[in-house]
Structure 1
Amino acid sequence: MAGGSRSRSGCWTCRLRRKKCDERRPGCETCEKLGISCHGYANRPDWMDGGEQEKAKSAEVRRDIKSATRRDAGPTASQPSASVHEPSPRVSPTLENATHHEPRHSPQEISTTLPTGTNQSDRQLLNSMLGLNVVLVGASSSGSYRSNGAQGFGRTQTSEGSGDIEQRQMPVIKERDASLLMYYMDCVFPMQFKMYNPAPAEGGRGWLLSLLLRTPPLYYMSLALAAHCMEVLEIPNGSDESKGVTSAQLASALQNLQQYITMFNEQPGPGSLEENIKVLVCIMQMIGFVGFAGGTENWQVHMKGASTIVSRFTDILCSSNSTSHLFESNRSGTVMSVEELITVKFLVSIFSWIEIANSVSSGSSPTLGYIHDRLLGGQDPPIRLDKVMGCDNTVMILIAKIGALDEWKRDAQATGKLSMMELVTRASSIEKELMLALSGIPGGRPPSADFRSLYGLSRATLSVYFDYVTEAYTLSALVYLHVVVSGPHAELQEIRNNVSQSVELFRRLPEPIIARALYWPILVTGSMALPEEENLFKEMLAESGVKPIFVGPGWNIIKILEECWRRRRTNDPLPVKEGYWADIMSSLDTTVLLL
């Protein structure tokens, strides 16, 4: 480390090594983590003579560190400590069960490098990662760091002492980690975002790989998620013991992610552009995992945190030169690179989709609804939701307006100030725009794709079916609108017409797996289905692969639909306090994330 940051009052071992000491007493944590003797803080040792004795002691310490490194690595060093017992409801992002299992392997040391240009804030964020006590060991701007902790991913050895530090420009990825990384890229990520299939000319998914390699907590979390999915989906008959281990490892990776986000939130000021991108992707990965694990955990908290960062990106996305004065500059100006722009657009798209679609789950209008016209409106909007989740921007903006109308109506009712004339006028305007959007959906349908698996989308994605998705969302938005105006009465003609059209569309789906991209339309339309139509919705989800322990919120959607149907059959309505679907979910003590 550069001399300016060397400890002047640290332990004698750290001073010998010319490393920063945490100065914990009686022995420092840095030495403990490295598995070497800490010589404390007493009087200057005799061997600290600036001559031959000091050189000999330095060589001895370096040998001890290398010996400890080989000891810890063992034959299983390349095995990931964070695996994944696929997001079943038993794996909780709140980490309540994180301490019930012990990792399969002992803590191991991880060596890699910080990207060029890393600033002190990045280093502080890295040091916040639970189980990854990062100690900088490099002197250059690409500063190597060593991370000691519970995440037992593969490591490389870094020479000790000044003048012989091994510098690497990229992390060394062990064979096992490389397999998991590719499994995440090829299978897990497409399962999370089924409609996202960027062309090479649009940057492909290279931004994702780059971000994974630059953001340690995201990298470890993604490897854990990949290992977990592989354990459950590829080896469904594996032992419960191995799945328990992967669950504990996933919990540890989730903790790292949470700590990274927490540290960022504690920083004064907005931080740099790079930091905001990294933290936003970590937050969205947390939310994505909630959806993967059934969508019932407290995802609203994460959405609130993400909204602050997303609002900062609005001016950048809507400006012609992609600059902003909000962020601390860590290079000449704050102009976004092409990769950063692609990354931000994807993250803001995912956030906007979740916020708009889940107005039915939360019973509230979107927090950032005031920026939707800027982000999603116009002929050439900066954000294209159809590229990410399959539905046209126009329809999603109108769904957000329905959510706002629903909240306005309930607030007006609570204060005795509801004007039915104003309600109908506002609803009629939205309905006309939805009907116009419906008429503009192409009639032609793409040919069936080759899906080799119910859960693996590596050979094909659902993006070719975006017009089915847009039509399903539009018809369901009309159902949503009429429920807001007239109440959840399935027999009403205006509701019946749109449900019938949706049922016909669902019967014409060329591939059962398309239902995985239609959770929101299935919930909204299915809740208004007549008894003779109920089986269609359950069969459609079952044929797409949904079962009790499965990735995504599909099984919980079935439970919500059954509760809707039960209440209608028994004439057991709920008082409308949060909105129809939010009230149903509250009665089940859950709020499902429709992702």
Structure 2
Amino acid sequence: MEPPSRTSRTSHGCWTCRLRRKKCDEQRPVCGTCAALCITCYYGDKKPEWMDGGLRQEKMIEKVKREVKQKAPYRRVERPHLSGDKVFNTGFGERPAGAQNMMPEPTQNGTYGSRESHISLSQGTGCGHLDRSSVVGRSDSILTTFYLQSVLPFLFPFYRPSIARGGSAWSLELMIRSPVVRQATLCQGCFFFCLAQGTDSREVICDTVFSQVREAFQSLERAIQAMNGRDIIENPHGAVQIMASIVQMLHFEVAALTFENCGAHLNAALALFGQIFDRSCTVEPVGLRAQFNAFMDRLGPSSYIPPAEHIRIPSAEQDASYFSTALLLFDDIIASTTLQKRPRLYQYHHSLLESTEGREPVINLEEVIGCQNTTILQIGEIAVLDEWKKEYQNAGNLNVIELASRATRIKNALEGQIVRIEGEPTEACKISGNVLDLLAPNDGVSSSRRLVTLVWTRAALLYLLVVVSGWQPASDEVRYHVGQIIDLLANKLSPNTLIRSMVWPFCIAGCLAEPARRAELRRMVEALQPSIVFSTVRKALQVMENVWHRKEEDMYQDFYACFKAYGDMVLLV
């Protein structure tokens, strides 16, 4: 926090400026001082509860200090022009309760801001005439290739679609056809390309990349605002392109930039997902599984590869929809664990993620995030149980027997998962006569999926134990699972960068870790370089450090309190 200013201060300024002891120009809804720093502007006639001159005020000072530091990169980008009550929305930002942020939060229908402009969607572009020319220059071709070869495998290390199904060609095809997808892809490629060229100066990266990130979110915002029910019905391809772009930009920003806006972007993606399936299926199918399959059929037709055109390849939008749906289901479940609420897409879990009537699940999460469906499904069930317990506790009529019964079913499923995985024989290296196997990259990622599921499953058990029994890090069962997770991550995981794909279990185990093992966890994080692309892991460590530094008598009672105490939404994906 800067030293107190000697300039005169008004007693009618925003509460942020009063907290920082800075002069406020009293503009509304965002004062000039807060606008210049890109930070939350708190104002109102009523004095906030945290302005108590004591501990809560000190915590708020620290929170504002963090926000000033976190928003430093965005201050290097041209700031929005504020005129009266209208705010030019860059697509960044989530407004906390009781505050006015520079950027409006998304509305319930999935838009990020006002609907002043209307742009119709055109088939195949996803955003009409919003962006640069469709002509792709050489520099764009280089960044596109770099994205496909290096960035996509880094952000999604377990996503290795078979070339027999088209591989990642869908991403290239959408980049060529859709300006929205291309804009979202190029800013990611540019960011990592700067790092790959040795440009690790944050100042240089800010100058060259963050304006592109802003433009990408502006394009997405305008595309979402332009949509209505008719657009989605007539052009589901464009809607899927936009959804895929939001999901990929969300994961990019979480991985390499900041968590500040993840709630806004996730809300927009989830709202768009709901609109797509509510409005795009003109024929009412039986069940959500059939509804999803019917929608996927509308995204066809599939391509056929010569000779004889007997090899069928899914369309680009079909692959994009599958990929985005898997990530959204996963993101939604992880977000629910930090919000103490049931997943918003919970109604889709049984139909899309479970094996039914001998049929494989529609969505295989292991192909995208490396962890099997069963474990992720049970994490969603624990989030539902957590919300149920809180609701009945608050009402004073919690049924402990029912709580134990529901928890036992989940625990049995998770422990059965561990027994099955640990009982599976280690696959020996096979000499295959299949050309596709010979051409597949041999980097050890595929063989890591078994370990990944083990780590996630043990973390799910820890999550369940805390939901049911409260914060008991000294219990034998908790200590056992924490130790197993740390040992797997420290001694079995290869490469160590895969920790970035297991941040949630890493944080769950770390919060409950004994003092003797905390240095080991810190070393894991410090080994991940360059630090700028491991934002998620470092944020998790900050959450863990916050828990470790609390006195025993002030210890949290659940994980919701751990994440809530940190401030903004922590999306550990």
Global fold match (TM > 0.5) = yes
Q: Using a 3 Å threshold, how does the CA distance of structure 1 residues 237 and 475 change in structure 2: closer, same or farther? A: closer
| Partner residue in 1 for 2:396 | 416
| Partner residue in 2 for 1:573 | 555
Comparing 506-515 and 556-565, the one that deviates more: 506-515
| Partner residue in 2 for 1:121 | 121
Residue 470 in structure 1 maps to residue 453 in structure 2 = yes
Q: Using a 3 Å threshold, how does the CA distance of structure 1 residues 485 and 239 change in structure 2: closer, same or farther? A: closer
Query: How many percent identity over aligned positions?
Result: 24
Q: How far has the Cα of 1:586 moved from its partner?
A: 2.4
List per-residue Cα deviations over 1:197-253 (Å, max 9, x = no partner): 112113200111111112102202211221122213432355835642332233223
Q: Using a 3 Å threshold, how does the CA distance of structure 1 residues 175 and 546 change in structure 2: closer, same or farther? A: closer
Q: Distance in 2 between matches of 1:542 and 1:272?
A: 47
Q: How does 1:32-43 map to 2 (within 5 A)?
A: none
Please, which of 361, 375, 388 is the counterpart of residue 395 of structure 1? 375
Q: Using a 3 Å threshold, how does the CA distance of structure 1 residues 340 and 510 change in structure 2: closer, same or farther? A: same
| Partner residue in 2 for 1:228 | 191
Q: Using a 3 Å threshold, how does the CA distance of structure 1 residues 278 and 339 change in structure 2: closer, same or farther? A: closer
Residue 211 in structure 1 maps to residue 177 in structure 2 = no
Bigger Rg, which one: 1
Q: How far has the Cα of 1:360 moved from its partner?
A: 2.1
Residue 196 in structure 1 maps to residue 130 in structure 2 = no
Please, which of 502, 512, 527 is the counterpart of residue 543 of structure 1? 527
| Partner residue in 2 for 1:276 | 239
Q: How does 1:129-528 map to 2 (within 5 A)?
A: 129=130, 132=131, 147=132, 171-237=134-200, 240-241=203-204, 243-264=206-227, 270-311=233-274, 312-313=276-277, 318-319=289-290, 322-324=293-295, 338-378=315-355, 379-442=359-422, 443-445=424-426, 460=443, 462-511=445-494, 512-528=496-512
Structure 1: runs of 5+ lacking an equivalent: 1-87, 102-118, 133-146, 148-154, 156-170, 449-457
| Partner residue in 2 for 1:554 | 537
Q: Distance in 2 between matches of 1:121 and 1:251?
A: 21
Q: Using a 3 Å threshold, how does the CA distance of structure 1 residues 91 and 229 change in structure 2: closer, same or farther? A: farther
Q: Distance in 2 between matches of 1:239 and 1:592?
A: 23
Structure number with higher relative contact order (C-alpha < 8 Å, ≥ 6 residues apart): 1
Q: Using a 3 Å threshold, how does the CA distance of structure 1 residues 403 and 461 change in structure 2: closer, same or farther? A: same
C-alpha contact 1:181 1:223 (8 A) present in aligned 2: yes
Specify which structure has the higher proportion of helix.
Answer: 2
Residue 586 in structure 1 maps to residue 564 in structure 2 = yes
List per-residue Cα deviations over 1:444-473 (Å, max 9, x = no partner): 55699xxxxxxxxx9847333100100000
Partner SS for 1:126: coil
Q: How far has the Cα of 1:535 moved from its partner?
A: 1.5
C-alpha contact 1:437 1:474 (8 A) present in aligned 2: yes
C-alpha contact 1:231 1:243 (8 A) present in aligned 2: no
Q: How far has the Cα of 1:493 moved from its partner?
A: 2.4
Q: Using a 3 Å threshold, how does the CA distance of structure 1 residues 296 and 446 change in structure 2: closer, same or farther? A: farther
Q: How far has the Cα of 1:593 moved from its partner?
A: 1.5
Q: Using a 3 Å threshold, how does the CA distance of structure 1 residues 357 and 320 change in structure 2: closer, same or farther? A: closer
Equivalenced residue count is 433
Q: Using a 3 Å threshold, how does the CA distance of structure 1 residues 520 and 321 change in structure 2: closer, same or farther? A: closer
Q: Distance in 1 between matches of 2:261 and 2:206?
A: 24
- Counterpart amino acid of residue 165 in structure 2: E
Q: How far has the Cα of 1:435 moved from its partner?
A: 0.7
Q: Distance in 2 between matches of 1:537 and 1:344?
A: 36
Partner SS for 2:136: coil
C-alpha contact 2:326 2:364 (8 A) present in aligned 1: yes
Q: CA RMSD in A?
A: 3.4
Structure 2: runs of 5+ lacking an equivalent: 1-68, 81-118, 279-284, 303-312, 430-440
List per-residue Cα deviations over 1:154-190 (Å, max 9, x = no partner): x6xxxxxxxxxxxxxxx54322111111111111112
C-alpha contact 2:77 2:206 (8 A) present in aligned 1: no
Q: Distance in 2 between matches of 1:224 and 1:461?
A: 29
Q: Distance in 2 between matches of 1:441 and 1:594?
A: 24
Comparing 527-536 and 233-242, the one that deviates more: 233-242
Q: How far has the Cα of 1:519 moved from its partner?
A: 0.7
C-alpha contact 1:516 1:544 (8 A) present in aligned 2: no
- Counterpart amino acid of residue 350 in structure 2: D
Partner SS for 1:189: helix
Q: How far has the Cα of 1:269 moved from its partner?
A: 6.0
Q: Distance in 2 between matches of 1:287 and 1:368?
A: 18
- Counterpart amino acid of residue 519 in structure 2: N
C-alpha contact 2:126 2:180 (8 A) present in aligned 1: no
Q: So what's the TM-score if we normalise by structure 1?
A: 0.66
Q: Using a 3 Å threshold, how does the CA distance of structure 1 residues 385 and 91 change in structure 2: closer, same or farther? A: farther
List per-residue Cα deviations over 1:371-410 (Å, max 9, x = no partner): 1011010150110000000111011111100010011111
